[in-house]
Amino acid sequence: MMQKITVRRVGFIVSSALLLIFLFNALPVTPTQATDDKWYVRYYANKTLSGDPVKTAHESNIDHNWGHGSPGDEVPNNNFSAKWTRNVHFDAGVYRFVATMDDGMRVWVNDNEIISSWNDSQVHTVVTDIYIPTGNHNLKVEYYEATGGATAQFSWGRAGTTNISGWLGQYFNNVNLFGQPSVVRNDGTINFDWGTGRPAEGINKDDFSVRWTRTLELPPGVYRFTTTTDDGVRLWVNDQLVIDKWQNQAVTSYAADVEVAGTAAVKMEYFESRDYAVAKLDYTKISDVVSGSGLLPPASELSGWDGTYYNNTNLDGASVMMRFDPEINFIWGSSSPQPNVVNADRFSVRWTNNHDFPAGRYRFTTYVDGGVRLWVNNQLIIDEWQDPYKTVSHANVIDLPGGSVPLRMEFFEDVGLAEARLVIAPEGGTAVGGTGTAVSSPSATPTTTLAPMTAQVVNARVLNVRSGPSMADEPFTHVSGGQVVALTGCRNAGWIEIRLPDGTTGWVGGAYLSGNFDYNQLQTCTSSTE
């Protein structure tokens, strides 16, 4: 009897041991393995990661912006997918994982899905913070592209904050945004002048780079995005590269005008090489939406000006700002063309442009408080390189053969007030305020049409608009020298009635208007106040 009990106990112990071994082998644990220094990626010629991959590779980073292309000749430009896998060692802590995609992306740590944005979309960023214990962990990233632009970017770093309310800043200890960021944090604004210091603990004083991302909700309109950096910068708005100055340079500003329909996904990349470090981004609405097309055409396709600004009076040395100016029509007064970048005094500007003109004779008039030089078709037609410390006008007439004409205007401001404007008009025709507006073809004979008519304000920096045709009538507003105004067709004892942009009318002295109209053919009218 005692022997049978012993046999049963031995059998129970053996059975229990076998069961424990089975259960241990059945647990979903991550096996110990060597970490991977690269991602293993499989690319598929469909959106569903189905079948056999058409391309495989090892990649150091998931940092792709293929635009309208693809990862390779084997992969179609649209309707493809990818799967990246990697084993990584983590020290215990809270980590921030950042996925930027166009279209869908999913991310797993071991078997835990931490990011899921699996739908057609424009480029956008998803961020999540999770605690990870010490050890090796399997990472998996899945991605698909539908149509249009293709972007797949993924990275992580220790979380500095759990909420992203401004810009997501990823800081790297190299100049090419390589590998994983050493610091990930929330930056309320991109407005940094670090001097010779470091941007954050754990980041180099020199040889570092940063990527900022954010989705801005903006009222529809045309916005001017301006970067100011020492050294390199790249800026994307809605997946369009609008500024690309990835180079060593002193503090320099660049601007791009972008039409925004309400949402703008913005990404700015920056690197610092040596010495001083500056990184700033500003954006401001400059007009309402005009086309609804998104990104405006490049500056080279517009009829405006490429402006290069210098912090001296002789256009010498390195520029401090380059931007696209739709027209030369500035009354800066005592302020700066770009505060904190361009001096308010003792600065200079060079504007260049190629503009299409119908054949004919044209009058070029500058209104400046400062010095000015103007070249038209490579001929110096205005040379007044001295500051009179008041606003003066200079004009010259030139015959143009028709077609594209190179234009260059140079300006400097010494001290005091600053003003720089250029008006181009067919000789004997209707004036045009700047070359941002198409120049009309000159007429061979004067027009006899009474309305609509326009005229240009001349011989005055500011011209009062009065309620009636006499000096006894009170001025209620004013127009500026060089401004083009609409005529109502009325005159009275040397006075001419004009129509303002808001539809109201007023009277100005006829001696201060010049245009394609005949004063004697205007209708004699009395003041509406009489």
Lookup: tokens for 331 = 């009354």
Q: What is the pLDDT of residue 487?
A: 85
pLDDT band per the 50, 70, 90 thresholds, residue 62? very high
Q: What is the pLDDT of residue 159?
A: 67
Mean pLDDT is lowest, of 247-251, 315-319, 395-399, 429-433, for 429-433
- Do the domain assignments include residue 8? no
Q: Are residues 464 and 419 in the same domain?
A: no
Q: Are residues 147 and 66 in the same domain?
A: yes
**Among the ranges 1-15, 35-49, 474-488, which has the highest mean pLDDT value?**
35-49
Q: Are residues 379 and 472 in the same domain?
A: no
Task: Specify the residue for token string 């022997």.
Answer: 3
Task: Specify the residue for token string 């025709």.
Answer: 429
Lookup: tokens for 495 = 């006075």
Q: Are residues 419 and 457 in the same domain?
A: no
- Quote the number of domains for the chain: 3
pLDDT band per the 50, 70, 90 thresholds, residue 303? low
* Count of residues making up the chain: 530
Mean pLDDT is lowest, of 165-174, 234-243, 379-388, 427-436, for 427-436
pLDDT band per the 50, 70, 90 thresholds, residue 431? very low
Supply φ then ψ for residue 18, to 5 degrees: -65, -40
**Per residue in 379-426, pLDDT tens?**
999 999 998 888 888 888 889 888 888 999 999 999 988 899 988 888
Q: Are β-strands 347-357 and 360-369 bridged in parallel, bridged antiparallel, or unpaired?
A: unpaired
349 has pLDDT over 80? yes
pLDDT band per the 50, 70, 90 thresholds, residue 164? low
Q: Are residues 410 and 332 in the same domain?
A: yes
> 391, 408, 426 — which closes off a domain?
426
Q: Are residues 38 and 149 in the same domain?
A: yes
- Do the domain assignments include residue 184? no
- Do the domain assignments include residue 444? no
- Do the domain assignments include residue 440? no
What residues contact residue 16 under an 8 Å CB cut-off, 6+ apart?
Answer: none
The CA-to-CA distance between both ends of the chain, in Å, stands at 135
Residues 230 and 510: their CA atoms lie apart, in Å, by: 52
Q: What is the largest CA-CA distance in the chain?
A: 140
> Do the Cβ atoms of 233 and 177 come closer than 8 Å?
no
Mean per-residue pLDDT, 187-192: 91
Q: Are residues 146 and 37 in the same domain?
A: yes
- Do the domain assignments include residue 200? no
Which residues partner with 426 through β-bridges?
362
Residues 119 and 125: their CA atoms lie apart, in Å, by: 13
- Do the domain assignments include residue 153? yes
- Do the domain assignments include residue 256? no
pLDDT band per the 50, 70, 90 thresholds, residue 30? very low
* Residue 344: CATH number of its domain: 2.60.120.380
Q: Are β-strands 495-499 and 484-492 bridged in parallel, bridged antiparallel, or unpaired?
A: antiparallel
**Per residue in 439-486, pLDDT tens?**
333 332 222 233 357 788 877 777 888 988 988 888 888 887 777 788
Residues 180 and 171: their CA atoms lie apart, in Å, by: 9
- Tell me what percent of the residues of the chain surpass a pLDDT of 70: 83
Q: Are residues 149 and 40 in the same domain?
A: yes
Q: What is the pLDDT of residue 423?
A: 87
pLDDT band per the 50, 70, 90 thresholds, residue 312? very high
Mean per-residue pLDDT, 270-284: 91
- Class of residue 303 by CB neighbours under 10 A (exposed 0-12, middle 13-18, buried 19+): middle
CB atoms within 10 A of CB 116: 15
**Per residue in 88-126, pLDDT tens?**
998 877 788 888 898 999 999 998 888 888 988 878 888
Residues 240 and 223: their CA atoms lie apart, in Å, by: 14
> 159, 186, 207 — which closes off a domain?
159
298 has pLDDT over 50? no
Q: Are residues 397 and 497 in the same domain?
A: no
Mean pLDDT is lowest, of 66-75, 77-86, 354-363, 518-527, for 518-527
Q: What is the pLDDT of residue 304?
A: 72
pLDDT band per the 50, 70, 90 thresholds, residue 215? confident
> 159, 181, 206 — which closes off a domain?
159
**Among the ranges 29-33, 329-333, 452-456, which has the highest mean pLDDT value?**
329-333
- Do the domain assignments include residue 435? no
Q: What is the pLDDT of residue 49?
A: 95
* Residue 100: CATH number of its domain: 2.60.120.260
Q: Are residues 365 and 419 in the same domain?
A: yes
Q: What is the pLDDT of residue 299?
A: 38
Q: What is the pLDDT of residue 23?
A: 36
Q: Are residues 382 and 478 in the same domain?
A: no
What residues contact residue 322 under an 8 Å CB cut-off, 6+ apart?
Answer: 252, 253, 254, 255, 306, 307, 308, 309
Range of the structural domain that residue 109 is part of:
31-159
Mean pLDDT is lowest, of 49-53, 90-94, 403-407, 433-437, for 433-437
Q: What is the pLDDT of residue 451?
A: 36
Q: Are residues 84 and 151 in the same domain?
A: yes
